[in-house]
């Protein structure tokens, strides 16, 4: 796909991609979104549809059997799926965050072993960084990876792991040298079927209920040394570098949720009549719709700019990815909440989709780094740039 793109007008290839993904999402994903949310079940139908269209892990390069989609194309894919069903949008999003450390720092042997099955739709890939006592302070992780000859033995618990139990592969961060703090953390590929790997119960979540979230337990999990991603002690750096790229994807998910909520609310206010006319004719309602659309478009332009920087690997990517994720997710929460308000009582019941969108939007402000942490990242990058 063309990588020399403008952040203001989508290149033709990306515009056509948006049309294609939107059509697929409306026909084969949206009809099941409410059911997926109600039952809290993984969206198997959506996964099958995405695999058929090669949209489940399009970011993987053609060299490893993928589509070679650039960062902007991946954002468009996630955005359009999220517009229909946020849970389903976690499929391409998870595959990207799970494989990104491998793409950035993995050996050629690791890439050839693990990327092709994901590209073919035979496996999903999750990212395991957080722990019960290490959320925003990820450097405080306690999961250990002790060297034993040519192997490493992993012990510990990972928490809030999206896709846990469904994904076949996991990028796991573990401490190999506790005296070195962040410099003593290494990254590994763990397989679901490795001896000693088990999973906790499903978390009972507010939103994105179709994306399973569980704890991952590592009990004397023995891995060959070749499963390490990059050199020993580089795992934390790799983890942060990966998040710089994938926070843009979270921003895209937030855009999709917000767009879905705005589209539904705008249609509703045109049809809903009070005091003898459509409520869309009332200035107060018009102001709300205008603000929703204005903030959403600002978030979209910032997200697409961050996607361009991700594709180029710009030095200021950390700032822009944090800004895009923070602003887009705050916007999604505001837009979805306003959509509920515009529907009044109808917005508060499950017969209408905006209450689901409001619940789904909340997590975008939390995962892959809370928005408070994103502000810390932005401030740190700004101060660092001052000479």
Q: What are 33-77's pLDDT values in tens digits?
A: 999 999 999 999 999 999 999 999 999 999 999 999 999 999 999
- With a cut of 80, say whether residue 4 has pLDDT above it: no
**pLDDT reported for residue 387:** 77
Return the higher-pLDDT residue of 353 and 9.
353
- Mean pLDDT for 125-149 is 94
181-223 pLDDT, tens digit per residue, is 999 999 999 999 999 999 999 999 999 999 999 999 999 999 9
Q: What is the pTM of this model?
A: 0.96
What SS3 state is found at 379? helix
Give residue 8's pLDDT.
57
Q: What band does 142 get if pLDDT is binned at 50, 70 and 90?
A: very high
Distance, in Å, from the CA atom of 201 to the CA atom of 161, rounded to the nearest integer, reads 12
Query: Above 70 in pLDDT, residue 123?
Result: yes
CA 136 → CA 323, 328, 365, 371, distances in Å?
A: 17, 20, 13, 10
Return the percentage of the chain with pLDDT > 90, whole number.
95
d(CA 194, CA 218): 9
Confidence band, pLDDT 50/70/90 cuts, at residue 6:
very low
Task: Please say if the pLDDT value at position 7 is more than 80.
Answer: no
Catalytic residue list contains 368: yes
* Count of helices and strands (H, E) across the chain: 11, 10
Q: Please give the mean pLDDT across all residues of the chain.
A: 96
Q: Mean per-residue pLDDT for 279-297?
A: 97
Crossing angle of helices 283-312 and 71-84, rounded to 10°: 150
How confident is the model at residue 139, as a pLDDT? 84
Catalytic residue among 52, 80, 368, 381: 368
User: What end-to-end distance do the CA atoms of the chain give, in Å?
Assistant: 38
Lowest mean pLDDT among 132-141, 236-245, 342-351: 132-141
Residue 45, both tokens: 């139908």
Q: What percentage of residues in the chain have a pLDDT greater than 70?
A: 98
User: Which of 360, 173, 350, 149 shows the shortest CA–CA distance to 256?
Assistant: 360
pLDDT at 9: 76
What's the pLDDT band for 1 if we cut at 50, 70, 90? very low
In this prediction, residue 269 has a pLDDT band, given cuts at 50, 70 and 90, of: very high
- CA pair distance 169, 184, nearest whole angstrom: 23
Q: What is the pLDDT of residue 138?
A: 84
Q: So what's the pLDDT on residue 5?
A: 39
Q: What is the pLDDT of residue 2?
A: 38
What's the pLDDT at 116? Answer: 98
Rg, the chain, Cα only: 21
As a whole number of angstroms, the distance between CA 213 and CA 161 comes to: 5
């Amino acid at each position: 796909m063309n990588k020399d793109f403008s952040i203001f007008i989508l290149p033709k290839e990306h515009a056509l991609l948006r049309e294609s993904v939107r059509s697929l999402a409306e026909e084969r994903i949206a009809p099941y979104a409410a059911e997926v949310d109600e039952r809290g079940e993984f969206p198997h139908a959506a996964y099958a549809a995405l695999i058929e269209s090669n949209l489940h892990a399009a970011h993987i390069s053609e060299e490893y059997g993928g589509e070679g989609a650039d960062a902007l194309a991946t954002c468009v894919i996630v955005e359009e799926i999220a517009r229909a069903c946020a849970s389903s949008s976690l499929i391409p999003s998870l595959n990207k965050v799970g494989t990104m450390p491998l793409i950035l720092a993995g050996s050629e042997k690791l890439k050839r072993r693990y990327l092709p099955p994901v590209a073919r739709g035979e496996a999903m890939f999750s990212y395991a960084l957080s722990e019960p006592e290490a959320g925003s302070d990820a450097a405080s992780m306690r999961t250990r990876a002790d060297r034993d000859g040519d192997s490493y033995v992993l012990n510990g618990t990972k928490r809030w792991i999206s896709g846990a139990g469904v994904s076949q592969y996991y990028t796991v961060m573990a401490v190999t040298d506790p005296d070195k703090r962040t410099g003593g953390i290494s990254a590994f590929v763990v397989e679901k079927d490795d001896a000693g790997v088990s999973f906790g119960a499903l978390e009972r979540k507010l939103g994105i209920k179709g994306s399973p979230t569980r704890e991952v337990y590592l009990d004397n999990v023995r891995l060959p040394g070749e499963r390490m991603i990059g050199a020993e002690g580089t795992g934390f750096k790799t983890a942060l570098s990966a998040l710089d790229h994938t926070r843009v994807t979270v921003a895209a998910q937030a855009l999709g949720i917000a767009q879905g909520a705005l589209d539904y609310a705008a249609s509703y206010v045109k049809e809903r009549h009070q005091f003898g006319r459509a409520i869309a004719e009332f200035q107060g309602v018009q102001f709300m719709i205008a603000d929703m659309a204005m903030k959403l478009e600002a978030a979209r332009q910032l997200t697409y700019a961050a996607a361009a920087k991700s594709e180029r690997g710009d030095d200021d990517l950390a700032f822009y990815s944090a800004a895009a994720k923070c602003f887009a997710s705050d916007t999604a929460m505001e837009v979805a909440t306003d959509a509920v308000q515009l529907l009044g009582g109808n917005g508060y019941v499950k017969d209408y989709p905006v209450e689901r969108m409001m619940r789904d939007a909340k997590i975008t402000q939390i995962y892959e780094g809370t928005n408070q942490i994103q502000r810390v990242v932005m401030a740190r990058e700004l101060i660092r740039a001052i000479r």
